[in-house]
Amino acid sequence: MQAFRNQSRLTYLIWGGLALEIIAALITGRWTAAFVAFGTLGLSMTPLFLASRLHIHLPKSIVALAVAFVFATIFLGEVFDFYERLWWWDIALHALSAVGFGIAGFLFVFILFEGDRYAAPPWAMGLLAASIGIMIGVLWEIFEFAMDQAFGLNMQKSGLPDTMGDLIVDVIGASLGGTMGGLYLRGQALGSVSALVDEFVALNSRFFRRFRRKR
């Protein structure tokens, strides 16, 4: 598919590593590792499948970050037990992903308003973006629960304390991501975040008919 072409080296490196792990695990009879690697590979490709169906073009950097997150969360976390080896692993992943979810929520809201910076106050659009980011975080916790129940994994670790801690981090991170979106609408320079939003807008210009760069 066209969407899978011209991705970053990091994306191809992770996909290639997962494919090799699947083959090696099947040969050596490590069925759980093979299953987790296969699930990680499929889930890491999901954003591109969804984007292709919705006719949305994702910047390479967004794809790479999504692939790296899924790889670090499921494969490194479960197969190599990073959650137990590194106490901060779960917190760091949820914090970074929550910020990303908030920014993703902002891009979705921005599409709904066709790129009109003045369709609603920046704080309102930032709040909507944060709410969407928090919803994505909640859906991820449901996914972890489902995987634990269906396949005997241990993604939730300590159960309720782990889930509540993750949700608290999700709220903080998504709020930060939504705040960045609001600041972007106000014309604030946000470095790589602004560049990422500008790239997404340029790749999907048909969704942003009312977009005007604020001077």
Percent of the chain exceeding pLDDT 70 equals 96
The confidence score (pLDDT) of residue 212 equals 64
| pLDDT value of position 179 | 94
Residue 215's pLDDT is what? 41
The yes-or-no verdict on residue 9 having pLDDT over 80 is: yes
Percent of the chain residues topping a pLDDT of 90: 49
Per-residue pLDDT tens for 101-124? 999 999 999 998 888 887 888 899
Name the token pair of 71: 């790889």
CA angle 96, 97, 99 (to 5 degrees): 70
Both tokens assigned to 43 = 């889930």
pLDDT at 83 over 90: no
Banded pLDDT at 2 (limits 50, 70, 90): low
Which residue stretches of the chain are H helix? 9-28, 31-53, 60-70, 82-85, 89-112, 122-151, 160-185, 192-203
Mean pLDDT, the chain, rounded, equals 88
Give the pLDDT band of residue 6 (cuts 50, 70, 90): confident
What confidence tier does 203 reach under pLDDT thresholds 50, 70, 90? Answer: very high
Closest to 13 measured CA to CA, from 68, 91, 57: 68
17: pLDDT strictly greater than 60: yes
- pLDDT for 213 equals 55
For residue 8, the 8-state DSSP code is: -
Looking at residue 158, its pLDDT comes to 72
Interval 123-164: pLDDT, tens: 999 999 999 999 998 998 898 888 888 877 767 777 788 788
**Chain mean position to CA 88:** 19
Q: Is pLDDT of 214 > 70?
A: no
